[in-house]
Structure 1
Amino acid sequence: MRAEQIVRVAGGAPVALAPHVLPALERACLQAAAISERRAVYGRSTGVGANRLTAVDPRDTEHGMRLLRSHAADAGAVIPAPTVRAMLAIRLSQLARGKSGIEPRIVAGLERMLRTGALPELRELGSIGTADLAALAGTALALTGERPTAVPFEPLAPFGMESALPFMSSSALTLARAVLALEELRRLDRAGRVIAALSARAVRANTQAFSEAAAQACAAPGAVRVAREMRLLTGRIPYPARVQDPFGFRAYVPSQAAVVAAMDDLRVRVERLASAGQENPLFDFRHSRVVHHGNFHQVALGLAVDALNLGLAQSAPLVLARIAMLHDPMFNGGRPFLATGPAGSSGHMMTEYIAAAAAAELRNAAQPASLGSVVLSRGAEEDASFASQAVVQLERAVRHYRPLLAVELLSAHRAAHQQGTAMPGRLDAVAARLREALPVVDEDHDLRPEMEKAQELLAELAVML
């Protein structure tokens, strides 16, 4: 399942199973039942976690629902509806692969839940990077009418032991949160390119750092793309003010290319997982066997998210450096902090504090979650990838990346206005939009409304690239 599809479903796009899916799942369910009669199957004929060695009476028709009820415990803030929709879409895609032996009526019910908007209420705490058990168990209780849904939903019959664990055995919620955070970050990255180009024109940066030759020599994934976009936006500055700029511009391409490459890597990982049947255990119908495994241990996902968080953190100092240049009379041709009016006016001085606080949050969010570990279920589960925590940190980083870019936008706009800087091509349209939405006020004033408006404009700037 492509990231773009998940984002569209999160926004309300319709979903439907292909006609062949339910008949194929019916055949798989029957085969799984036959295989399970010949050997023990974790969670189906046994307990789970530390209870994995405890046999379950095959006549115990309540085992499946007890398992779901006991695993549905969650806590914390309510998860937004778009994220829940994305989770349901991912789980539907995974179950349609037919590796779990789940009853097809449950998959059909999941599709109906998503199609009708009968979403369950889920909460944020309950995942540690091995599976989103609480969120999916809570969804199962909503499917069977034991928990409320956003709109009325005709409940399914209770889950049997053959379907309870397979339904829960996924990191669909973690993947959904990663996809949506990644989509927002892609928009911010594109907007950031436009803002960096505005800053470059405002201080007459040396655009050699964005040249094709420099990008090729960088020999890093994403460098050629980032440099090409910067050239498209800045055009050629015929008389740059300096032979070499500070790192805010000179190192922009390798720094931001690292972010772009990390986003690409995470997108590939998430898309593979969103279409993979990884339930534990999974059924290998080709060889008529059941396979118990540890693929739920999402170490690769956690490492990919950590890499992106680190990439964002290393890019933040260069944003701060460009803001400092815009505020420095040596570069802006005017007064400190772009101030006007009486002597001692502060101008944009305090916006540096906003940017620095945001950068500090990015650094804090970049502490590798993959270094964490925890032992659970009486030692039966002696480690966790903490991928879920890495995604929470990514959401936090994205939330603070927005005001960081907004500060640079405000200062680049004001610096260009004070100097009467001419903007080429696409930047001319950007500058016109900024003059309309953010008219420059010369005297010191309350900057909060402008900060809020600048953050709103980031989505527009992303489209302009």
Structure 2
Amino acid sequence: MTSLETLVPGQVSLAQLRRIYREAPPLRLADSAWAPIRASRETVDRIVASGRTVYGINTGFGRLAQTSIETARLAELQRNLVLSHSVGVGPALPDALVRLILVTKIVSLSRGCSGVRPDVVEALLRLYRHDVLPIIPSQGSVGASGDLAPLAHLAAALLGVGEVRISGQQRPASEGLAAAGLAPIELASKEGLALLNGTQVSTALALAALFESEDVFGAGLLAGALSLEAIQGSIKPFDPRIHAARGQSGQIEVARVLHGLIAGSTIVESHINCSRVQDPYCIRCQPQVMGAILDQLRQVAAVLQIEANAASDNPLVFADTDEVISGGNFHAEPIAFAADILAFAATEIGSISERRTAMLCDPSLNGGLPAFLVTQGGLNSGFMIAQVTAAALVSECKMMAHPASVDTIPTSASQEDHVSMATHGARRSLTLAGNVAQVVGIEAMAACQGLELHRPLRSTEAVEAVFEDVRGRVAYVDQDRYLQPDLLAMRDWVRDGDKPDSVLALLPSQA
């Protein structure tokens, strides 16, 4: 049974968020969080009682911020805000992502800067605990003023409007509330805006893309080690002295891990005096390429952990001075840049992996292996078209990797005149990671074919363990067969295959 996770606002870790995304563990909010939530709500109540006009509490929104709203209609204002903003379109986000959105919204509201009642936070917790997940369309946010449209669908579920999934079954939101032991909420002043404002959708998408990219990175290192052994490549380019002379930290660590995976291999020892001077870049430059990617993944991880713990709605309530201050924390520019970096990183992992698959298939480069890794060539095509699939996916990734963060378009009658495009940029990066998982899976399958063609020579215990994991999923290709199920099984291997501790220690959310 998965252990209980305690959310401490401001201190939620990437490892916790990864478990929430992958495992849906039970969770609770730390006891220390409730006092700041109550204090911020009391500030809002005092402002309403005083009759002061404060944006977000008793005014309209966006370009309509100059319009004051009478106290008797503040609940209607909040409901209208949620309903009018529930304009998301496109495919619904998967349940794992909605869980991340719920949790990051709970954490944000619990920082004590949003002015919501504890009941609102408790309602969100109940949705998570009872596996009642609002159906949130994936399109409609420009990544500024918060992820307004998708978060409106989250908020609408609390009103009993829209639809939810109850343990995977689509039902009306009113039934979902009942399943969670809730009645529809009447939102108080500020609460609708607090629920809609914020970067939780773009952040959740980027977190998911990070977690998937980490898996692709780790599997890419293992596939690269398998490929090096399959072509009987040189271990010398992984000598730590080379990488220390440059000083790039990611490169140094990747070289150390790859050297540790291969050192002592009988395959390496079998060709120690061979005439080949150099291996292609896709083999010998793995530390330089994958090390640079690792550095970027760590930078992205740092940004996203901060954002997952952030108060990013507007205006913010500061209970210690009884102030409500309007700013722009809803602008998702940090996530936009992080999402673009993830797109670049995943594409490069796929690009170098596909080159290794092509090398394995090419008898002029593959160290004496048969063309396309099959013994009766001509009669059998072997891995010929699996490599073409990898090439097709990599080219698609290159097209998709165009940065989203450099785009903007004015909205809300130009009141919101510069936006981040973080949300679709992060969604794109998640799709990209899935493409590259397939590319890396194809390489690993091809490399294991090459290893088997070198039998009885064997690699190190670590590499042979990876080989056995792959062989537990796909068999040796002795003659052509229907290969698509094998490719899909290898895509799953990238995501859930066993990885050595030395590889896991590199990954920000798994270290």
After TM superposition, the score normalised by the length of structure 2 is 0.86
1:56-455 matched pairs, under 5 angstroms: 56-61=69-74, 62-130=76-144, 131-149=146-164, 150=166, 151=176, 152-153=179-180, 154-236=182-264, 237-238=268-269, 239-240=271-272, 241=274, 242-330=276-364, 331-341=366-376, 343=378, 345-420=380-455, 421-455=457-491
Residues of 1 paired with 2:45 and 2:343: CA distance?
A: 44
**SS of equivalent residue, structure 1 residue 256:** helix
C-alpha distance in 2 between matches for 1:273 and 1:231: 35
One-letter amino acid of the counterpart of residue 253, structure 1: P
Alignment partner, residue 44 of structure 2: 32
Q: CA deviation at 1:385?
A: 0.6
Work out the CA distance in 2 between the residues paired with 1:437 and 1:167.
Answer: 44
- In 1: Cα distance, 2:113 partner to 2:377 partner: 72
2-structure distance, mates of 1:342, 1:281: 68
Letter aligned with residue 440 of structure 1: Y
Which letter does structure 2 place at the counterpart of 1:57? E
| Unmatched tracts of structure 2, length 5 or more | 1-11, 167-175, 504-511
Moved more, 95-104 or 315-324: 315-324
1:112, CA displacement in angstroms? 1.6
Of residues 485, 494, 498 in structure 2, which corresponds to 1:458? 494
* Higher deviation after alignment, 427-436 or 195-204: 427-436
* CA apart distance, 1:38: 6.8
Shift of 1:357: 0.7
Q: Which residue of 1 aligns with 2:16?
A: 5
**Aligned equivalent of 1:49, options 43, 46, 62:** 62
1:144/1:434 Cα in 2 relative to 1: closer, same or farther (>3 Å)?
A: closer
Q: CA deviation at 1:463?
A: 2.6
Indicate the larger mover: 396-405 or 146-155. Answer: 146-155
Amino acid paired to 2:155? A
Give 3-state SS (helix, strand or coil) of 1:119's partner. strand
| Alpha-carbon offset, residue 416 of structure 1 | 1.3
1:132 partner amino acid: D
Q: Which string of whole-angstrom CA distances, capped at 9 and with x for unpartnered residues, describes residues 321-368 of structure 1?
A: 212221122323133212322646422111221111111122122100
Offset of 1:5 from its aligned partner?
1.2
What is the DSSP-based 3-state SS (H/G/I as helix, E as strand, rest coil) of the residue aligned with 2:334? helix
Q: Percent identity?
A: 26
Maintained 8 Å contact 1:109/1:156: no
Aligned equivalents of 1:193 and 1:384: distance in 2?
Answer: 36
Contact 1:208 1:214 in 2 (8 A): no
Q: TM-score normalised to the size of structure 1?
A: 0.94
User: Following the alignment from structure 1 to structure 2, what is the Cα–Cα distance between the partners of residues 258 and 215?
Assistant: 12
Once residues 433 and 162 of structure 1 are traced to their aligned partners in structure 2, the CA distance between those partners, rounded to angstroms, is: 53
CA gap of 1:429–1:41, structure 2 versus 1, over 3 A, is same
CA contact 2:229–2:459 (8 Å) conserved in 1: yes
Give the drift of 1:224: 2.0
SS at match of 1:229: helix
Shift of 1:136: 2.1
Asked whether the 8 Å contact 2:217–2:349 carries over to 1, the reply is no
Separation (CA, whole Å) in 2 of partners of 1:111 and 1:380: 34
CA drift at 1:35: 4.3
Task: Say what the alpha-carbon RMSD is for the aligned residues.
Answer: 2.0
SS of 2:69's equivalent? Answer: coil
Look up the SS of the partner of 1:16 in the other structure.
Answer: strand
After TM superposition, give the deviation of residue 302 of structure 1 in Å.
Answer: 0.8
Amino acid of the residue matched to residue 128 of structure 1?
V
The 1-side partners of 2:483 and 2:477 are apart by: 10
Q: 1:12 to 1:432 in 2, by over 3 A?
A: closer
Letter in 1 for 2:373: L
* Counterpart amino acid of residue 29 in structure 1: R
Aligned residue type for 1:254: Q
